[in-house]
């Protein structure tokens, strides 16, 4: 709990996480009233306990329900109303931006007016078939279906609706084992293309992606305060992380050189937008550099650099899968396993050194 203001106009705030979510849960801070309105430390602590336990709804949840009620009154819970609640409660999460775009592009027209508990497996099958006909990838379709499932589970968990009785999600199979790699020639061409960029500070973003494997969100959100030049660490803030968890990666000599070459401005961000705020995108530059370097069109302009980074490390034969998992901030070894074939190839090359050391033929007889 904290206080703002002095005298009779003191404002009480409570800070808590939902019970059962642990330290990984979202930290909620919200006002509960002023001292002049009868609020006290004891009352604020009691409210904090109720909201942390889930016995009382948070301010955002109550506002969302109020707004949702305006949409449909006391009628059946529609998907649009449940989505509004979901959006309000998850405001501020890094993943919400993608959810909003996906909702408007793929879900709103088809599901907005449908009653949640009346959704069926056929509705999901029709969505999957329609997205396939439009030429959308299996991964895009899987994300759309997964979002519907998350929204419905959100409603069920909060007692807003029952789980539809005849609803099953059949997810499309996704082959996401793509692991872009760069040959020595491609790497040299890519670095030359970066050197030709007129905005070398912006080019530093792509260089940093290549030497650290950082994700797009982490690069865009990177602040100078996240760069510890003394201890040689880069902080990946949980607020912009895919998992919502703050992690640390080493600041290598290459990363340090790149960061030290970036011109500092009044902005707190290392790679700020034009107004000094957080930069929102850089795909145009990334595609231009990729094309100028002559890389394949299917080489993903940024995420491909993350895979190239991982591929170079594991192919070197000096980095094991566990270390690579930590450098990539993967949750589980399974996510890093896609690079195992490169490790095996590096081991075969290392083992074949014996062929140069021993002049032994295939028959096992020593050559003369």
Least confidently predicted of 41-55, 92-106, 190-204, 330-344: 330-344
Length of the chain: 368
Q: What does residue 36 show for φ and ψ, rounded to 5 degrees? A: -70, -15
Name residue, tokens 């106009």: 9
DSSP bridge partners of 2? 13
51-57 CB contacts, 8 Å cutoff, 24+ apart: 51/14, 51/16, 52/16, 52/17, 52/18, 52/19, 53/19, 54/18, 54/19
Banded model confidence at residue 234, pLDDT cuts 50, 70, 90? very high
Q: Are 91 and 60 in contact (CB under 8 A)?
A: yes
Domain total for the chain? 3
Same domain, 274 and 251: yes
DSSP secondary structure string, 152-173? HHHHHHTTSSPPPTT----PPP
**Predicted local confidence at residue 362, as pLDDT:** 46
Mean pLDDT, rounded, of the chain: 83
**Predicted local confidence at residue 26, as pLDDT:** 75
Residue 105 maps to which CATH number?
Answer: 1.10.150
Q: pLDDT tens digits, residue range 145-185? A: 999 999 999 999 988 888 888 889 888 876 555 567 888 89
Same domain, 7 and 67: no
Residue 245 lies in a domain: yes
Same domain, 194 and 340: yes
Q: Are 336 and 317 in contact (CB under 8 A)?
A: no
Residue 60, burial from CB neighbour count under 10 angstroms (0-12, 13-18, 19+): middle
Instruction: Provide mean pLDDT across the span 319-328.
Output: 81
Same domain, 145 and 248: no
Instruction: Tell me the three-class secondary structure of 246-315, residue by residue.
Output: CEEEECCHHHHHHHHHCCCCCCCECCECCCCCECCCCHHHHHHHHHHCCCCCCCCCCHHHHHHHHHHHHH
Same domain, 297 and 322: yes
Same domain, 216 and 288: yes
DSSP secondary structure string, 97-121? HHHHHHIIIIIHHHHTTSBGGG--H
Name residue, tokens 């996510």: 335
Same domain, 192 and 334: yes
**Predicted local confidence at residue 10, as pLDDT:** 80
Residue 263, burial from CB neighbour count under 10 angstroms (0-12, 13-18, 19+): exposed
DSSP 83: H
Q: Which residue range forms the structural domain that includes residue 42?
A: 2-54
Same domain, 50 and 100: no
Least confidently predicted of 162-171, 260-269, 346-355: 346-355
User: Does residue 360 sit in helix, strand or coil?
Assistant: strand
Residue 214 lies in a domain: yes
């Amino acid at each position: 709990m904290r206080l703002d203001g002095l005298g009779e106009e003191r404002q009480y705030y409570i800070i808590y996480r939902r019970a059962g979510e642990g330290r990984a849960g979202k930290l909620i801070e919200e006002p509960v009233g002023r001292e002049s309105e009868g609020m006290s430390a004891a009352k604020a602590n009691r409210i904090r306990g109720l909201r942390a336990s889930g016995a009382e709804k948070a301010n955002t949840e109550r506002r969302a329900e109020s707004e949702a009620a305006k949409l449909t009154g006391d009628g059946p819970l529609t998907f649009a109303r449940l989505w509004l609640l979901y959006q309000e409660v998850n405001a501020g999460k890094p993943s919400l931006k993608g959810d909003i775009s996906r909702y408007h592009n793929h879900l709103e027209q088809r599901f907005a007016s449908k009653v949640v508990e009346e959704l069926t497996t056929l509705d999901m099958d029709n969505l999957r078939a329609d997205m396939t006909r439009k030429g959308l990838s299996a991964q895009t379709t899987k994300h759309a279906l997964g979002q519907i499932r998350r929204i419905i589970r959100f409603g069920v968990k909060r007692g807003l609706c029952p789980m539809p009785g005849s609803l099953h999600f059949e997810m499309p199979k996704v082959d996401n084992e793509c692991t872009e790699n760069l040959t020595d020639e491609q790497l040299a061409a890519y670095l030359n293309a970066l050197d030709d960029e007129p905005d070398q500070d912006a080019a530093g973003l792509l260089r940093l992606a290549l030497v650290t494997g950082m994700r797009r969100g982490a690069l865009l959100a990177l602040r100078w305060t996240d760069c510890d030049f003394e201890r040689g660490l880069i902080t990946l803030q949980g607020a912009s992380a895919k998992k919502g968890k703050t992690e640390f990666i080493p600041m290598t000599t290459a990363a340090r050189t790149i960061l030290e070459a970036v011109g500092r401005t009044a902005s707190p961000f290392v790679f700020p937008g034009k107004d000094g705020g957080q930069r929102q995108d850089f795909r145009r530059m990334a595609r231009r550099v990729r094309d100028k370097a002559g890389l394949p069109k299917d080489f993903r302009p940024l995420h491909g650099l993350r895979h190239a980074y991982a591929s170079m490390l594991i192919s070197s034969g000096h980095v094991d899968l566990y270390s690579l998992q930590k450098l990539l901030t993967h949750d589980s070894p399974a996510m890093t396993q896609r690079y195992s074939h490169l490790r095996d190839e590096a081991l075969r090359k290392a083992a074949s050194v014996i062929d140069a050391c021993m002049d032994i033929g295939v028959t096992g007889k020593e050559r003369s």
